[in-house]
């Protein structure tokens, strides 16, 4: 039994899996960064969503005016939601792909392009860059995830 | 080392895991489709969230009027968010369930019902079907995920 | 082949993985609970997002007045989205961490603190508690996920 246990955790020694772990950690940390950017803009723009968050700025009516939406805050929040919509499929499908014995070079290509595309997407959203900058970076990440899904389904299809 | 590596990637040969991989790829691709439907409605309804997205329709005031919400766009976005709220737990709990050595037939039953329910949910949301069409399809997917979580916790409980 | 298959599913016998499975199931179920709380507030406050959801309250104009936002409903929805933003990274990075052979005691510490922090965060959001109650519980969960990501990257870094 101990032997079993030791073996089953060795997945982390597989190079494709290590690549998956590296890039998944990077894109998830990048996504988490959006929370800090949102908090930064909420505080500098004084634009909050909850009454209890404005208590530090005074009581009653004087604090109520900070319960508002702000264009910069909303922009970061849209970027964050777009991350969720695109990074969740990458993490899920990428895990299946990493476990489907792809070539390391092909796997690295997928993971690197996706990660680069999502970092570009964040810059394109927050600067903001003129279109089709953001649209293209979104589409590249989308296509990479689609390509991984195709490779997974080709190997495991069991309906 | 090579032997280890070869072994650790064989998870993909496990039939329950292949079933999980198949249905997870399908529901995540279905969720990704919501992005394309949102883009389609944003373009046909000319309803955008970012000033840089409307630049193609003219400059200044003439483009500003396309910075608006549209009922069809918002409906797809609600469907997309509902997918995130329900497919994320399925992918996470489903992985644990697939690794907990369930019967293949039981696993297929869970994965198939969930996938069918979420596809129905999308149609119910976008057509839209009268209630309780959408509510029931949501509840069926919810119950399947709950059942998998119960099976996982029964086997692994380690607090 | 059968031997391989049997072996690959034994991950569930690994104690760290069992701990990961337990706490991941718990936090995902907690997140799913937010859907039920949203539904409860939508029905008791009679505040819906879709016309088809208000049909039970009458036809035409008399039902239209229930298509509105409500402060309590929006509060639960913000809590739900915050769960998605924070529990998704925990589930993804936590899986990589659980597979990177950490000490069981350290792994349990990470998983328990995160789970406790997210349960506190929900109470702090819904009661609501005065700040910095919600902010601190959010920060603790965030720091735990960050610590796991650091441990993963230290072990697997393959760029």
* pLDDT above 90: residue A61: no
- B113 interaction partners in chain A (CB closer than 8 Å): none
Q: Which of C128, C155, C158 sits opposite A19 (nearest CB)?
A: C158
Residue C3 in tokens = 């031997």
**CA–CA distances in Å: residue C113 to residues C27, C110, C131:** 12, 5, 20
**How many CA atoms, within 13 angstroms, populate the side-chain half-sphere of residue A37?**
20
The CA-CA-CA angle for residues C32, B146, C134, to 5°, reads 25
Interval B122-156: pLDDT, tens: 999 999 999 999 999 999 999 999 999 999 999 98
Interval A106-158: pLDDT, tens: 999 999 999 999 999 999 999 999 999 999 999 999 999 999 999 999 999 87
Alpha-carbon radius of gyration of chain A: 20
Residues of chain C with pLDDT under 70: 1-9
Interval B101-110: pLDDT, tens: 999 999 999 9
- C34 interaction partners in chain B (CB closer than 8 Å): 85
Q: Which of A10, A128, A158 sits opposite B19 (nearest CB)?
A: A158
Q: Which chains touch C (3 or more CB pairs under 8 A)?
A: A, B
Give the dihedral sign, CA A158/B110/C36/B133.
Answer: positive
| pLDDT score for A1 | 37
Chain B within 8 Å of A3 (Cβ-Cβ)? no
| pLDDT score for B63 | 81
Chain B within 8 Å of C12 (Cβ-Cβ)? yes
**Chain B residue with Cα closest to A141:** B32
Chain B within 8 Å of C84 (Cβ-Cβ)? yes
Q: Which of C14, C99, C155 sits opposite A5 (nearest CB)?
A: C14
Distance CA C75, CA A123 (A): 30
- A134 interaction partners in chain B (CB closer than 8 Å): 50, 52
| pLDDT score for B55 | 86
| pLDDT score for A2 | 44
**Shortest CA gap C38–chain A (Å):** 17
Q: In tens digits, what is the pLDDT along chain B, a chain of 159 residues?
A: 344 444 444 788 899 999 999 999 999 999 999 999 999 999 999 999 999 999 888 777 778 899 999 999 999 999 999 999 999 999 999 999 999 999 999 999 999 999 999 999 999 999 999 999 999 999 999 999 999 999 999 998 877
Q: What is the mean pLDDT of residues A33-42?
A: 98
Chain C within 8 Å of A13 (Cβ-Cβ)? no
Q: Who wins on pLDDT, B61 or A4?
A: B61
Whether residue A99 and residue B1 make contact (CB cut-off 8 A), yes or no, is no
Model-level pTM? 0.93
| pLDDT score for C2 | 44
Distance CA C157, CA C2 (A): 33
Q: What is the mean pLDDT of residues A46-68?
A: 88
| pLDDT score for B2 | 44
Residue A72 in tokens = 């910069």
| pLDDT score for B60 | 72
Go through the domains of chain C in sequence order and give each one's CATH number.
15-154 (1.20.120.550)
- A152 interaction partners in chain B (CB closer than 8 Å): 21, 25
> Which H/E stretch holds residue C108?
helix C104-126
| pLDDT score for C36 | 98
Q: Say whether C48 sits in a helix, a strand or coil.
A: strand
């Amino acid at each position: 039994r101990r032997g079993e246990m030791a073996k089953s955790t060795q997945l982390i020694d597989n190079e494709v899996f290590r690549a998956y772990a590296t890039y998944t950690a990077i894109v998830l940390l990048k996504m988490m960064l959006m929370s800090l950017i949102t908090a930064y803009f909420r505080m500098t723009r004084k634009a909050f969503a909850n009454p209890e968050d404005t208590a530090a700025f005074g009581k009653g009516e004087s604090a109520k005016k900070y319960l508002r939406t702000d264009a910069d805050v909303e922009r970061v929040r849209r970027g964050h939601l777009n991350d969720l919509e695109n990074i969740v499929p990458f993490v899920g499908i990428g895990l299946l792909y990493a476990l489907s014995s792809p070539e390391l070079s092909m796997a690295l290509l997928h993971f690197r392009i996706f990660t680069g595309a999502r970092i570009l997407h964040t810059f394109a959203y927050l600067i903001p860059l003129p279109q089709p900058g953001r649209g293209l970076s979104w589409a590249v990440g989308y296509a990479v995830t689609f390509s991984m899904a195709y490779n997974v389904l080709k190997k495991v299809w069991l309906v």
